[in-house]
């Protein structure tokens, strides 16, 4: 049982580059979310989805896009990377009957 | 939107002592309050949660209390052990999908 799988684990980007952080879950969870974690600021919600085809913005959505074409996958796209997007990114999922969110192991992104 | 504040930001205790972490929230519609433990290099893991129809919940050495009137909830760890050392996050949501987190508490348990 893999749970929530995030790739890559580490990434270095140059300012202005774009990339996609991948997230997949195998628990048939309806809800999926992306958080960024910065020192002293906890986890801040970027985007979330309540089901395939439905997404919504969280606290800090600017500079990021998401899509949810399947229940399993919820990729996060950085359109034009900026140094302020240097962070650790976590994907999480939950569903009916689940206890809280299950988190992936994170992607550490550095933008230079 | 929901705003969650968490205190203290760091906490150091001797092994065997108790640790208490407190959180407040702003949205009276919030009805689900989980606590997560994050070890170095890993994602947060759920350790206990409470819903608004319950005032207290215990699971072995950990317990959570909720005061809906005052909009605060707390995590209590008794008989702390070195392996309890980690960062702990509280969170609140009204529908389990838009979940907001506190800034975290770094707990250190000294042997």
Distance CA A99, CA B76 (A): 19
A10-13/A107-111 β-pairing: parallel
User: What is the interface size between A and B, counted as CB pairs within 8 Å?
Assistant: 56
In this structure, the number of other CB atoms found within 10 A of the CB of residue A48 comes to 23
Q: What does B13-73 look like in DSSP terms, one character per residue?
A: EETTS-EEEEEEE--TT--EEEEEEE-TTS--EEEEEEETT-SEEEETTEEEEEETTTTEE
Q: Which of A50, A58, A99 sits opposite B46 (nearest CB)?
A: A99
Quick: pLDDT tens for A36-84: 999 877 899 999 999 999 999 998 999 999 999 999 999 999 999 999 9
Comparing alpha-carbon positions, the chain B residue that sits nearest to A4 is: B43
Q: Do B6 and A94 touch (CB under 8 A)?
A: no
Q: Do A42 and B89 touch (CB under 8 A)?
A: yes
| pLDDT of B98 | 76
Contacts of residue B42, defined as CB under 8 A and 6 or more positions apart, other chains included, come to: A105, A106
| pLDDT of A1 | 61
Instruction: Please identify every stretch of chain B with a pLDDT value under 70, giving residue numbers as ranges.
Output: 95-97
């Amino acid at each position: 049982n893999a749970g929530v799988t995030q790739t890559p684990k580490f990434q270095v980007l140059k300012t202005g580059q774009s990339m996609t952080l991948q997230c997949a879950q195998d628990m048939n969870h309806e809800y999926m979310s992306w958080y960024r974690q910065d020192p002293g600021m906890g986890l801040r919600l970027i985007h979330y989805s309540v089901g395939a085809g439905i997404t919504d913005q969280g606290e800090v959505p600017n500079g990021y896009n998401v899509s949810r074409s399947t229940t399993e996958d919820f990729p996060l796209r950085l359109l034009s990377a900026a140094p302020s997007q240097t962070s650790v990114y976590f994907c999480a999922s939950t569903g009916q009957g689940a206890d809280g969110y299950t988190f992936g192991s994170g992607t550490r992104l550095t933008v230079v | 939107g929901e705003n969650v504040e968490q205190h203290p930001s760091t906490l150091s205790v001797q092994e065997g002592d108790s640790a208490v972490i407190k959180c407040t929230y702003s949205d009276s519609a919030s009805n689900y309050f989980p606590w997560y433990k994050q070890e170095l290099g890993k994602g947060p893991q759920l350790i206990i949660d409470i819903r608004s129809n319950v005032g207290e919940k215990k699971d072995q050495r950990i317990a959570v209390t909720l005061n809906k009137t005052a909009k605060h909830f707390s995590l209590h760890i008794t008989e702390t052990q070195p392996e309890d050392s980690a960062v702990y996050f509280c969170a609140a949501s009204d529908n389990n999908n838009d979940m907001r987190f506190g800034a975290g508490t770094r707990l250190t348990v000294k042997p």
